[in-house]
């Protein structure tokens, strides 16, 4: 049986909901390290309120999508949840996704932690679901990174924020998906990114408890330098896919929003190539920070209304490995065509 040709409906940034999130400028971070904007291009970020968990975020995402599309669970065949918070919740991501689906009488659910490559990974997973009746499949990227960051660690605290983005795919949807894939087994020779349980870390409220262990994102000694050198070039290489005519066949690149300096470097690398046409590179990190799997769909939610119908959009991603496996990174690519 042939798989349907899917397309996106809408992209929604739910992190602007003031009942669930607050906006935090750099000077108001628990530890306001110096020159954050100059080093990252980040000026502010969304942080979830202390009472909010992944279950609350998923509930908000589903409600936001239903209201936007004027649909309900009976119009949906499945739900996919992507999140880095797979190891710090009181329940598993699978159970959170399953409950959300069950609440709305949606028959299937899946979850995954592909870190910064979570968006293309989630779309790939959604496209593999059974959907004989051609209904919507909900895809949610819920990132509560503020819970897994040591806000006294300058390597990580300066770049991360919380994010919540949602979309749905449906056969014949507005923005035709041309490809979506992700892999979590890319070698990380410098052990750039990982998870570690540590005592004495700083929570998002500024408190430090030397007796309590927290699971936090860590960066290797040379991780930042290696990522700056490797990631922009790797993202560009992912977008340079011969199946779509290489970079000449791409009209716009919306990369994972890891760091504004990375986006700046991608633009510089493109200029060095001397291509026949200019390819815009979308950067929206200034008011969202790095929100892992939510970063690309958040960028799309903010900017897609300015794209021309027919444009081919490449969304490359690279970051920590699946489940933050030590010694591994992930990467992936989503390509779609902008609809009318």
Tell me: the pLDDT tens digits for 271-285? 999 998 999 999 999
> 104: helix, coil or strand?
coil
Map out the domains of the chain as residue ranges. Answer: 6-177, 180-190+221-337
| Shared fold status for 6-177 and 180-190+221-337 | yes
The correct CATH number of 6-177 out of 3.40.50.12280, 3.40.50.10300, 3.40.47.10, 1.10.645.10 is 3.40.47.10
Closest CA to 332 of 141, 163, 57: 141
Q: What is the pLDDT of residue 2?
A: 66
Instruction: State the pTM of this model.
Output: 0.97
The correct CATH number of 180-190+221-337 out of 3.40.50.620, 3.30.450.40, 3.30.70.3280, 3.40.47.10 is 3.40.47.10
Q: Please name the helix (run of DSSP H) or strand (run of DSSP E) that holds residue 232, with its range, or none.
A: helix 223-239
Closest CA to 184 of 323, 82, 83, 330: 330
Pairing of strands 76-82, 136-143: parallel
Q: What is the pLDDT of residue 253?
A: 98
CA distance 110 to 70: 23
Q: What is the pLDDT of residue 326?
A: 86
Q: What is the pLDDT of residue 310?
A: 98
Q: What are the pLDDT digits (tens) for 136-150? A: 999 999 999 999 999
The Cα angle at residue 42 between residues 304 and 63, in degrees rounded to 5: 45
Q: What is the pLDDT of residue 147?
A: 96
Secondary structure E strands in 188-230:
193-199, 213-219
Closest CA to 110 of 119, 121, 123, 97: 97
CA distance 30 to 18: 20
Tens-level pLDDT at each residue, the chain (340 residues): 467 899 999 999 999 999 999 999 999 999 999 999 999 999 999 999 999 999 999 999 999 999 999 999 999 999 999 999 999 888 999 999 999 999 999 999 999 999 999 999 999 999 999 999 999 999 999 999 999 999 999 999 999 999 999 999 999 999 999 999 999 989 988 888 889 999 999 999 999 999 999 999 998 776 677 788 889 999 999 999 999 999 999 999 999 999 999 999 999 999 999 998 999 999 999 999 999 999 999 999 999 999 999 999 999 999 999 999 988 999 999 999 999 9
């Amino acid at each position: 049986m042939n798989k349907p040709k899917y397309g996106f409906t809408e992209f929604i940034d739910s992190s602007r909901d003031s009942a669930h999130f607050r906006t935090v400028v750099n000077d108001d971070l628990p530890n306001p390290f110096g020159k954050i904007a100059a080093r990252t291009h980040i000026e502010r970020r969304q942080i979830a309120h202390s009472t909010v968990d992944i279950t609350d975020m998923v509930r908000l995402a589903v409600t936001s999508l239903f209201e936007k599309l004027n649909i309900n669970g009976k119009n949906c065949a499945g739900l996919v949840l992507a999140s880095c918070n797979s190891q710090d919740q009181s329940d598993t991501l699978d159970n959170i996704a399953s409950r959300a689906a069950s609440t709305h009488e949606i028959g299937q659910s899946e979850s995954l932690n592909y870190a910064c490559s979570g968006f293309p990974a989630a779309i790939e997973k959604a496209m593999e679901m059974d959907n004989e009746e051609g209904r919507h499949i909900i895809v949610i990227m819920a990132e509560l990174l503020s819970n897994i960051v040591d806000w006294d660690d300058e390597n990580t605290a300066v770049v991360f924020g919380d994010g919540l983005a949602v979309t749905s795919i449906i056969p014949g949807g507005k923005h035709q998906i041309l490809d979506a894939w992700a892999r979590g087994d890319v070698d990380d020779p410098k052990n750039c990114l990982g998870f570690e349980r540590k005592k004495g870390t700083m929570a998002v409220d500024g408190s430090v408890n030397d007796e309590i262990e927290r699971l936090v994102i860590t960066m290797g000694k040379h991780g930042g330098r290696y990522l700056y050198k490797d990631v922009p070039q790797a993202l560009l290489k992912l977008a340079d896919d011969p199946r779509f005519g290489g970079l000449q066949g791409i009209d716009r690149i919306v990369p994972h929003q890891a760091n504004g300096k990375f986006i700046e470097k991608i633009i510089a690398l493109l200029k060095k190539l001397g291509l026949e046409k200019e390819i815009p590179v979308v950067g929206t990190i200034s008011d969202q920070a790095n929100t892992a799997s939510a970063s690309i769909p958040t960028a799309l939610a903010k900017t897609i209304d300015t794209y021309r119908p027919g444009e081919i959009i490449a969304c490359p991603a690279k970051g920590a490995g699946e489940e933050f496996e030590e010694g591994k990174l992930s990467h992936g690519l989503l390509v779609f065509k902008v609809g009318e």
